[in-house]
Amino acid sequence: MATILNQPEFPLSSDNPIRIVVIGARSVRQGTGPFIASGLALAGAEIAGVVGTSQQSADQAVASLQRDRGIETVGYTDLGKALDQVAPDAVAICSPWRFHAQQLEQVANAGCHCLVEKPLAWPATHAEMEQLIAAFTSRKLLLEQVAQWPATLPAFARLHDGLPQEIDRFTMRLSPISIGEDMITDSAPHFISLLQALAGPGDCVEVDIEQADQQLTLRCRYQHQAGSINATLLLETCRQRPRPAWYQVNTLRADRSVQLPEYTQSLVHNGRSVVLDDPLHRVTAQFIADLKAGRPTADRALLSAHSNLLQLAAAWR
């Protein structure tokens, strides 16, 4: 991984909208780019540019954002050029994870804050991840990872009149397009983000993975400062749309319900329902709020989450 040169921190203006460049603003496969861009705009940011892999993809992203979300912006095919010409305050990385490490380096070198889709960077060793995160913290730049499931916990608490005081079991069910080793990058970050939100940073130990046909079950013990949680991730592909998803804390379960065509969401259990604010919009609003407040990067949590991915990957191999 290339050495990152020291640059001064980027000063944020409190008077003007925060200017953001979005990398990967089209929804290809399971892409979240358009939703991230929309959420940032709703939070008051200016989408000052989008970066695509080709002129065609950049033009399509610009057109779809204008048509579907009323966002006027400019397309680029080169991140370096976008950073030079736009001089944004922040960058949202929504590109495939294989490109994240290089893009994070460029963003840090340009002195920009960053919101990055999961996983932060993969594959990356613990030392490489430390270096990437330090590129932001050493410049007092904010680096946050998109984690939409923890944003559902307030609704979960309303559904069940609070969260358990002590948590000893946690289960999550997701329905990815495909299962296999890609679960490390596609599904496991959701699982880890909720464990972190519930118990703080920890380690995934005693990891066991079973796969049969279109199902995969991952079990581990999540060892954290106050104890441990017996955690299970259930993955199963299915034709149903929207895809089923739920999680359970001890004996308290919440299923995600999606109403089409509006794509409004709620958490449901035993006939009860709680409306769910768009989780991605909550994430983007929090990022903007953290920028305005000058909140520092939660480097320990980011590094711990990456360590958890490495622990799960080691069990897979």
User: Rounded to two decimals, what is the model's pTM?
Assistant: 0.93
User: DSSP state, 201?
Assistant: S
pLDDT value, residue 3 = 31
Domain harbouring 97, CATH code: 3.40.50.720
Please list the alpha-helical segments (H only) found in the chain: 33-42, 55-69, 79-86, 100-109, 126-137, 153-159, 183-186, 188-199, 279-293, 299-316
What confidence category does residue 104 fall into, taking pLDDT thresholds of 50, 70 and 90? very high
User: DSSP state, 84?
Assistant: H
- Please identify, among 93, 122, 146, the residue that sits at the C-terminal boundary of a domain: 146
Task: State whether 261 and 174 are in the same domain.
Answer: yes
Task: State whether 163 and 133 are in the same domain.
Answer: no
Tell me which residue of 185, 173, 209, 196 sits closest to 309, measured CA to CA. Answer: 185
Task: State whether 23 and 137 are in the same domain.
Answer: yes
Asked if residues 20 and 88 have their Cβ atoms less than 8 Å apart, the reply is yes
pLDDT value, residue 4 = 33
Task: State whether 169 and 126 are in the same domain.
Answer: no
Task: State whether 168 and 271 are in the same domain.
Answer: yes
Domain harbouring 238, CATH code: 3.30.360
Q: How far is CA 312 from CA 85, 181, 216, 247, in A?
A: 41, 10, 13, 19
Residue 287 lies in a domain: no
Residue 51 lies in a domain: yes
- Which residues constitute the domain of residue 138? 19-146
Q: In the predicted model, is pLDDT for residue 230 greater than 60?
A: yes
Q: How far is CA 227 from CA 43, 220, 222, in A?
A: 37, 14, 8
Q: In the predicted model, is pLDDT for residue 105 greater than 90?
A: yes
Residue 78 lies in a domain: yes
- Please identify, among 146, 166, 193, the residue that sits at the C-terminal boundary of a domain: 146
Model confidence over 168-186: pLDDT tens digits? 999 999 998 777 788 889 9
Please give the mean pLDDT across all residues of the chain: 93
CA 92 to chain centre: 11
Residue 68 lies in a domain: yes
What confidence category does residue 13 fall into, taking pLDDT thresholds of 50, 70 and 90? low
Map residue 286 onto helix, strand or coil.
helix
Task: State whether 190 and 257 are in the same domain.
Answer: yes
Task: State whether 100 and 111 are in the same domain.
Answer: yes
| CB neighbour list of residue 310: distance below 8 Å, 6 or more residues apart | 125, 126
pLDDT value, residue 59 = 95
Please list the alpha-helical segments (H only) found in 5-54: 33-42
- Please identify, among 83, 116, 146, the residue that sits at the C-terminal boundary of a domain: 146
> Exposed, middle or buried, 232 (CB in 10 Å: 0-12/13-18/19+)?
middle
Asked if residues 69 and 56 have their Cβ atoms less than 8 Å apart, the reply is no
Residue 4 lies in a domain: no
Residue 310 lies in a domain: no
Task: State whether 174 and 74 are in the same domain.
Answer: no
Q: In the predicted model, is pLDDT for residue 14 greater than 70?
A: no
- Phi then psi for residue 177, to 5 deg, are -60, -40
The residue that leads in pLDDT, 50 or 180, is 50
Task: State whether 24 and 136 are in the same domain.
Answer: yes
Task: State whether 180 and 216 are in the same domain.
Answer: yes
What confidence category does residue 272 fall into, taking pLDDT thresholds of 50, 70 and 90? very high
Task: State whether 227 and 192 are in the same domain.
Answer: yes
Residues 72-101 have a mean pLDDT of: 97
Model confidence over 125-160: pLDDT tens digits? 999 999 999 999 999 999 999 999 999 999 999 999
Q: In the predicted model, is pLDDT for residue 194 greater than 70?
A: yes
pLDDT value, residue 159 = 98
What confidence category does residue 5 fall into, taking pLDDT thresholds of 50, 70 and 90? very low
pLDDT value, residue 313 = 93
